[in-house]
Structure 1
Amino acid sequence: MTMQSLGEAARAVLLTPDPHDKRRAARSLARAWRQGRLDHRCDTPMPDQPAWPAAPELLEPGRMPRRGKGGSERGRIALLHALAHIEFVAIDLAVDLIGRFGDQFPREFVDDWIGVAADEAMHFALLDRRLRALGSHYGALPAHAGLWEAAQITADDVLARLAIVPMVLEARGLDVTPPTIDRFQGAGDEASAKILSRIFNDEIRHVRAGTVWFGWMCDERGFNAVETWHALVKARFRGPLKAPFNDSARHDAGLTQEYYAVIAS
């Protein structure tokens, strides 16, 4: 019997619409890979768009309701819901990266990004559980429609994907999460703050995986990593890189100032 390929297993996760089924499918994918039950082949085409549930309603950024500063319970629920949606889409982003580009790299690349996908699934579960404890749930509010756009505009090149998703979008999370944790703590919501602290620490590792494998592929292609990153961000990322930056967390992730300080707005 032929062993299932990594690409087939990744596609199956992407085509799972229910958030909790998708979360479980991502964890199962990670387990199957670690147990040696998947062949390191990525010759199955990935879908242009993953399967997602009917709720939340997805809105363009300009139509999203304002969330406030997170002091009221309503504001905190809205913020947690927005973060849950980011983590839900991040499952698909990690799995698509593996299924689309995994055979261009050694097994260690897949090891790293399988770990990222499993982390994102766990983060989503933690945030949805917290929403339920506050009387809400994922899907109860509208969510940002544009998050998958980064995958669509980088589907042709793994260097572009790594430059934009972990090294710009996830790195932005390193900048904004500590003040968000402070806001939750200021509101006396230690339970939510603790979840965000865990996510923050994991995201440092995710950005590091992006930076390391971006550098690896630049070496393979004979490119200068920093110059290549600047060119790709200018060409593929809509909008400026905004300060303030969490320089210490970015440094821990291997994303040094020579990358982002030069082209920040």
Structure 2
Amino acid sequence: MGGRTVTGRAAVAAARHLGEACRAVLETIDPREKAMAARAAARAWRSGRLAAGGAIALPDTPPRGARPELLPPGRMPKRGRAGSPRSRIALLHALAHIEYVAIDLAFDCAARFAAGRPRAFVDDWLGVGADEALHFCLLDRRLRALGSFYGALPAHAGLWDAAERTRADCAARLAVVPMALEARGLDVTPATVARFEAAEDRRSAAILARIYRDEIRHVAIGRRWFEAECGARGAEPVALWRALVSDGFQGIVKPPFNAAARAEAGLVAAYYEAL
């Protein structure tokens, strides 16, 4: 009889190099254990305990547990009346799921595309992954304070699709995930914060405001490495970004745009306005 597969913090502690640690995070199913493993892996990398490199097979799709039930967008239940307790819980749950998947997106990026790139590339993406883990924990804790928990409701099944479709091209991954998907979060989050404040749920609003500030930095990191990738290829950044996003992802770039937050991240209007 085979032994039990070790995942989570124990697998990170046993990892010798970057690839093993990132795979351990990706293969951890339990949400809170995944978050803790992500933060442990980032600490291990910063402290120098993990060797660079370590080519290793990464899962095409990280394993998921029975909860939350994953549904296609068209089958997701309505959230209820805006501002109601049910609606706020449903929205926080949806955001927690985004952060859960974002942990995997960051660690997959760090390990999959590290070869041939500066150590700072890994520094940045493991840092992003640790941020996403913290965001997940904040949202899950808030859900529990409101009488719910992550996994209590269905969640969007398609959030990993962008990773699957860009796994062969670092520039495509950076163009789509931080510079399109996360940038879309910058557009919609201020209104979401205002909705929670109007419902006098100031604790949830404060958590989302904290996440919003971190996500501006994440978009900036993605934009900076995308432009570095363009420099290495001799490609013009705006033209390449438009081509990559138009190839199946154009629907996520739509107004209204939060031009101020995008500009703070260095995502100038030339990238997105006329797409």
For 1:225, the equivalent position in structure 2 comes to 237
Matched-pair contact (CA < 8 Å) for 1:61–1:144 = yes
Counterpart selection for 2:206 from 194, 199, 207: 194
Aligned to 1:180: 192
CA distance in 2, matches of 1:94, 1:133: 28
Structure 2 distance, partners of 1:238, 1:56, is 28
Distance in 1 (CA, whole Å) between partners of 2:213 and 2:64 is 27
Structure 1 length normalisation: TM-score? 0.96
Displacement of 1:238: 5.5
- Please say if residues 98 and 159 of structure 2, whose CA atoms lie closer than 8 Å, have aligned partners that are also in contact: yes
- Alignment TM-score, normalising by the size of structure 2: 0.93
Separation in structure 2 between the aligned mates of residue 166 and residue 73 of structure 1, nearest angstrom: 31
Q: Distance in 2 between matches of 1:195 and 1:3?
A: 32
Note the aligned Cα RMSD (angstroms): 1.3
2:255 to 233, 243, 249: 243
Match of 2:226 among 214, 218, 222: 214
Distance 2:52 2:112 in 1: 12
Cα distance in 2 for partners of 1:95, 1:3 equals 14
Distance in 1 (CA, whole Å) between partners of 2:81 and 2:255 is 19
Question: Which secondary structure state, in structure 1, belongs to the residue aligned with residue 65 of structure 2?
Answer: coil
- Most deviating of 208-217 and 234-243: 234-243
> Where do residues 36-51 of structure 1 align in structure 2 (5 Å cutoff)?
36-51=48-63
Does residue 6 (structure 1) correspond to residue 6 (structure 2)? The answer is: no
Return closer, same or farther for 1:212/1:52 CA change in 2, 3 Å cut-off: same
Cα distance in 2 between the residues matched to 1:225 and 1:77: 39
1:63 pairs with one of 53, 71, 75: 75
The equivalent of 1:205 in structure 2 is: 217
- Could you give the per-residue CA deviations for residues 53-97 of structure 1, whole angstroms, max 9, x where no partner exists? 210000000000111454100100000000000000000000000
Say which of 9, 19, 24 aligns to 2:36: 24
**Cα distance 1:69–1:158, how it changes in 2: closer, same or farther (>3 A)?**
farther
1:155 is aligned to: 167
Gaps of 5+ in 2: 1-13
Question: Partners of 2:82 and 2:27 in 1: how far apart?
Answer: 34
Cα deviation digits, residues 211-236 of structure 1 (max 9, x gap): 00000011011111110001101114
Mark the CA change 1:170 to 1:3 in structure 2 (over 3 Å): closer, same or farther.
closer
| Partners of 1:59 and 1:143 within 8 A in 2 | yes
Contact 2:15 2:21 in 1 (8 A): no
Residue identity over aligned pairs, in percent, reads 61
Q: Which residue of 2 aligns with 1:94?
A: 106
For residue 80 of structure 1, the aligned residue among 88, 92, 99 is: 92
In 2, Cα distance between equivalents of 1:70 and 1:27: 34
Partner of 1:52: 64
Runs of 4+ in 1 over 4 A off after TM superposition: none
Compared CA separation, residues 8 and 188, structure 1 to 2 (3 A): same
Partner amino acid, structure 1, of 2:258: N
Deviation at 1:262, TM superposition (A): 1.7
Contact conserved, 1:4 with 1:39, CA < 8 A, in 2?
yes
Structure 1 unpaired stretches of 5+? none
Contact 1:123 1:199 in 2 (8 A): yes
Counterpart code for 2:184: R
Letter in 2 for 1:259: Y
Relative distance call for 1:219 and 1:130 in structure 2 (3 A) is: same
Question: Match of 1:146, SS?
Answer: coil
Partners of 2:131 and 2:63 in 1: CA distance: 20
Partner of 2:6: none
**1:113: Cα distance to partner?**
0.8
Name the SS of the counterpart of 1:4 in structure 2: coil
- Name the CA shift for 1:194/1:255 in 2 (closer, same or farther; >3 Å): same
Distance 1:105 1:236, change over 3 A: farther
